[in-house]
Amino acid sequence: MAENRHKSLGLSDEEVLDLFRTMLMARKIDERMWLLNRAGKIPFVISCQGQEAAQVGASYALDRTKDYALPYYRDMGVVLSFGMTPQDLMLSGFAKAEDPNSGGRQMPGHFGQKKNRIVTGSSPVTTQVPHAVGIALAGKMEKKDFVSLVTFGEGSSNQGDFHEGANFAGVHKLPVIFMVENNKYAISVPVSKQLACEKVSDRAIGYGMPGYTVDGNDPLAVYEAVKAAADRGRNGEGPTLIETVSYRLTPHSSDDDDRTYREREEVDEAKKKDSIVTFANYLREQNILTEEIETEMNEEINQIVNDATDYAENASYAEAESAMKYVYEENEE
C-alpha cells in the first residue's frame, strides 16, 4: 500500500473523502454547465476544471466558520467548500432571482455570499486583492483571529493591485494568504509571456513574505502549505504567497476556442495529472474510496446536480423593474 500522506497532516479518512467529494462536486457542476451552455440553455460558463485540488485543498486548510474567502471567477471549489450549494451555483448559471451571488445581475463565476464570508467580486481582475488586505486589516483592528484567503490567476499577478495589496499586507504584517492558481494560461497567453521570473512565488521576497510553489494537482500539498500560512497569519507573522501549479483543462470560457493557441497533445498530457483522477487513485490505494463508496458518491452527486439544474431552470427571473433596486441603501417598507 502507498504511503499514507494525509494522517501526518492531521486529516482523517473521512475528511479526505469529504475533500474529494467537494472536488468531484465542483467538477460535475462545471461539466453540467458546459452541457447546458452547448444546449443553449445558459449563455456563459467559466470553468474550474483542473484547479479543483488547489481550490478545495486550500479551503479545507482554513477555518470555514470564521475565515474570509475572496475568490476569483474559477473558484467553484472554494465557494462550495465555504458553504455555497450546488443549487446556488445553478441559480447563478441560469441568472435567476434566487441566485445568492447577485440575484442574476452578474455573470456566473462572480461569487459572493455574505453569510458564508465569500466576498463579492467583479470582472476586472485582481481588484479583490486589496479587499482581502482590508478585511485582514479590519480583523487585526478588531482583534479577531481570522485570516483572509485571496485567490487569482498567474496573469493577475501582473496587475498593480497585486503589487499594491501584497506590499500593504507585508508592511502591516496582515494575515492574508495570497494564492496564485497558476493554470499556465491567461486566456491565450502562456505563462512564458506573462512572467519574467521563473515562478510567481519568486515575487514574495519583494513584499517581505515567504513564497512557496506547490503542486496544484495535489490537494494535500496545497492543504499543507495553506495550513502553515494560516497558522503564520493567526500568530501575527504576516502574509504568505502560495503558487499552486496546475493546468486549465478547458478553454478560457464558453466563448473561447483554445484550439487556436495550444496543441491537443499538451492538453491530453495535462489530463493525465488531473487531480480528479490522481487523488481518486490515492484514495483507492488507501482503501478509503472503495468501489461501493465511489458508486454511491457518483450517484448522489449526479442526483444533486440534476435536482439543482431542474430547480434553477424552473426558478423565476428577477422582475425587470427590480434592475432599479439597490444602487444605494434602501429603507424597505
Partner 1 sequence: MAVISYIQAVTQALREEMKRDDKVFVLGEDVGKRGGVFRATDGLYDEFGEDRVLDTPLAESAIAGVGIGAAMYGMRPVAEMQFADFIMPAVNQIISEAAKTRYRSNNDWSVPMTIRAPYGGGVHGALYHSQSVEAVFANQPGLKIVMPSTPYDVKGLLKASIRDNDPVLFFEHKRAYRLIKGEVPEEDYTLPIGKADVKREGSDITVITYGLCVHFALQAAEKLAEEGIDAHILDLRTVYPLDQQGIIEAASKTGKVLLVTEDNKEGGIISEVSAIISENCLFDLDAPVQRLAGPDVPSMPYAPTMEKFFMMNPDKVEKAMRDLAEF
Residues noted as catalytic: 248, 252, 261
Q: Is 96 in the site for partner 1 (CB under 8 A)?
A: no
Minimum CB distance to partner 1, residue 172 (Å): 8
Minimum CB distance to partner 1, residue 240 (Å): 18
Of 6-14, 24-32, 52-60, 93-101, the segment contacting partner 1 by CB under 8 A is 93-101
Cα separation, 101 vs 112, in Å, equals 5
Q: Are strands 189-190 and 185-186 parallel, antiparallel or unpaired?
A: antiparallel
Which residue number, 1 or 320, has a Cβ lying nearer to partner 1? 320
Minimum CB distance to partner 1, residue 105 (Å): 6
User: Looking at 5, 105, 234, 262, which residue binds partner 1 (CB under 8 A)?
Assistant: 105
Which residue number, 72 or 223, has a Cβ lying nearer to partner 1? 72
Q: Is 101 in the site for partner 1 (CB under 8 A)?
A: yes
User: Looking at 14, 40, 327, 333, which residue binds partner 1 (CB under 8 A)?
Assistant: 327
Which residue number, 35 or 323, has a Cβ lying nearer to partner 1? 323
CB 226 within 8 A of CB 177: yes
CA angle 89, 94, 99 (to 5 degrees): 50
User: Looking at 14, 291, 328, 333, which residue binds partner 1 (CB under 8 A)?
Assistant: 328
Instruction: Pinpoint the alpha helices (H) of 193-320.
Output: 219-234, 264-271, 275-285, 291-314
CB 248 within 8 A of CB 51: yes
Segment 159 to 218, residues that bind partner 1, using CB under 8 A: 160-161, 163-165, 167-168, 171
Which residue number, 77 or 103, has a Cβ lying nearer to partner 1? 103
Q: Which residues contact 25 (CB under 8 A, 6 or more apart)?
A: 80, 86, 301, 304, 305
- Measured in degrees and rounded to the nearest 5, phi and psi for residue 181 equal -90, 90
Segment holding 52, helix H or strand E: helix 52-60
249: left (phi over 0), alpha (psi -120 to 50) or beta: alpha
CB 58 within 8 A of CB 78: yes
Cα separation, 245 vs 175, in Å, equals 23
Minimum CB distance to partner 1, residue 21 (Å): 27
Q: Are strands 211-215 and 189-190 parallel, antiparallel or unpaired?
A: unpaired
Instruction: Give me the 109-138 binding string for partner 1, x by CB under 8 A, dash otherwise.
Output: -x-xxx----xx-xxx--x-xxxxxxxxxx
Q: Is 69 in the site for partner 1 (CB under 8 A)?
A: no
Of 14-22, 158-166, 210-218, 241-249, the segment contacting partner 1 by CB under 8 A is 158-166
The residues pairing with 148 across neighbouring beta strands, listed in sequence order, are 68, 176
The residues that touch partner 1, with contacts defined as CB under 8 A, are: 68, 99-103, 105-106, 110, 112-114, 119-120, 122-124, 127, 129-141, 160-161, 163-165, 167-168, 171, 325-330
